[in-house]
């Protein structure tokens, strides 16, 4: 693997180049496996399970597809969640629900199509994968046929202590994100 960006002078690891290293390694790994295989596998599993949308994608596959430009990543959480909890750099935002009581956005499908187009491969991300599944279903009903749900969401599932982020989710897997 090409990890030259990880090494500083005299072949020592450079923390300053860590992000570059991680992106280079992910790119090399991605080149070795077909991202289209992940989409086809997700489509097949969705068909078998009778899902009303294109399928479910792991956070790692979502990052691989998004970082290579093969898919658009759309965060469906509220603007407040994105600001205070964090978000994926470069992701689009179309809220599935808004306000403190998280009322469903009646314009969701129209806003999604306006930002992504009707034929794009779209990966929807929420906190835990629940709202994004509902959003994917609504998008499919509106005629967007290539919309996938990102499993585990940004923060992951609740653990035994009723806290998120301890065993799965985008952040748990060390995928890129920023806060603010």
Higher pLDDT, 92 or 12: 92
The number of distinct structural domains making up the chain is: 2
Sheet containing 92-93, strands listed edge to edge, beginning at the edge strand earlier in sequence? 55-57, 147-150, 122-125, 72-75, 92-93
73 and 145 co-located in one domain: yes
Residue range 61-72, pLDDT digits in tens: 999 999 999 999
100 and 28 co-located in one domain: no
Query: Residue 79 above 70 pLDDT?
Result: yes
69 and 13 co-located in one domain: no
pLDDT band, very low/low/confident/very high, at 99 (cuts 50, 70, 90): confident
13 and 45 co-located in one domain: no
Rounded-to-integer distance, Cα 137 and Cα 104, Å: 13
106 and 134 co-located in one domain: yes
Quick one: average pLDDT of 82-104?
92
Rounded-to-integer distance, Cα 92 and Cα 87, Å: 10
Residue range 143-174, pLDDT digits in tens: 999 999 999 999 998 888 888 887 899 999 99
Sign of the Cα pseudo-torsion (112, 82, 59, 3, in order)? positive
50 and 121 co-located in one domain: yes
11 and 44 co-located in one domain: no
9 and 59 co-located in one domain: no
Domain containing residue 77: 35-180
Rounded-to-integer distance, Cα 107 and Cα 100, Å: 18
Average pLDDT, the chain: 85
76 and 15 co-located in one domain: no
Query: Residue 20 above 90 pLDDT?
Result: no
CATH number at residue 93: 3.40.250.10
pLDDT band, very low/low/confident/very high, at 98 (cuts 50, 70, 90): confident
């Amino acid at each position: 693997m090409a990890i030259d960006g990880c090494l500083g002078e005299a072949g020592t690891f450079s923390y300053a180049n860590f992000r570059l290293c991680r992106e280079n390694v992910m790119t090399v790994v991605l080149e070795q496996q077909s991202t289209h295989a992940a989409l086809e596998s997700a489509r097949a599993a969705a068909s078998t399970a009778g899902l009303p949308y294109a399928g479910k994608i792991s956070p790692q596959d979502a990052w691989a597809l998004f970082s290579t430009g093969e898919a658009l990543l759309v965060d469906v959480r509220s603007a407040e969640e994105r600001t205070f909890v964090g978000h994926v750099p470069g992701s689009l935002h179309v809220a599935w629900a808004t306000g403190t009581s998280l009322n469903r956005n009646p314009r969701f499908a129209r806003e999604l199509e306006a930002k992504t187009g009707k034929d794009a491969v779209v990966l929807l991300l929420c906190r835990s994968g629940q709202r994004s599944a509902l959003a994917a279903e609504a998008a499919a009903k509106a005629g967007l046929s290539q919309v996938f749900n990102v499993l585990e969401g940004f923060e992951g599932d609740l653990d035994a202590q009723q806290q998120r982020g301890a065993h799965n989710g985008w952040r748990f897997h060390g995928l890129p994100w920023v806060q603010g």
